[in-house]
Amino acid sequence: MTKRGMEILVGLFVLLGMLALVFVALKAANLTSFNSGATYVLTARFDNIGGLKVRAPVRSAGVAVGRVTSIVLDPKTYQGVVTLAVDQRFKFPQDSAAKILTSGLLGDQYIGIEPGGDDVDLAPGANIAQTQSAVVLENLIGQLLTGKAAVAGTVMEAPQ
């Protein structure tokens, strides 16, 4: 093999390596799906959004049906208002519920939609009324420790 042929092969190998790095970076940033299909907008209000981020998936029954497009704080109610772009193919009943869930124990958070049983579907721009905020691990640990301390305190104060 000539020197020029070897240089071309090395160049192709480096190019493939760079393409692989770009793919991994896009996958890590949750940007791999370039789906530009038709969507409609829904909103949901949460008392605590935890670590939810823009572009987080919206799932129903474990299937990705959309993405989070924006997260803002309502200055009147001090709730997080999450805007969702849902694929036009998926229609959800009016009494559907939205929850902030976590992938695994410490994974990324996403919105899970549980369909209701109503005959009327959510219209584009509608607000999902039933929501469940994120479970914050630090709060759970604090409640557990506070509960254990309270139990330990009552045992120590037994009547004499």
- What is residue 57's predicted lDDT score, i.e. its pLDDT? 92
- Each of the 160 residues of the chain gets a pLDDT tens digit; together they read 788 888 889 999 999 999 999 888 877 665 555 455 799 999 999 999 988 999 999 999 989 999 999 999 999 999 999 999 999 999 999 999 999 998 876 778 899 999 999 899 999 999 999 998 887 777 778 888 887 666 666 655 545 5
Contact 106, 117 (CB under 8 A): no
Strand order in the sheet with 127-128: 127-128, 39-46, 80-87, 63-73, 57-60, 109-114, 97-102, 130-132
Threshold 0.75, pTM exceeds: no
What residue spans define the domains of the chain? Answer: 1-32, 39-142
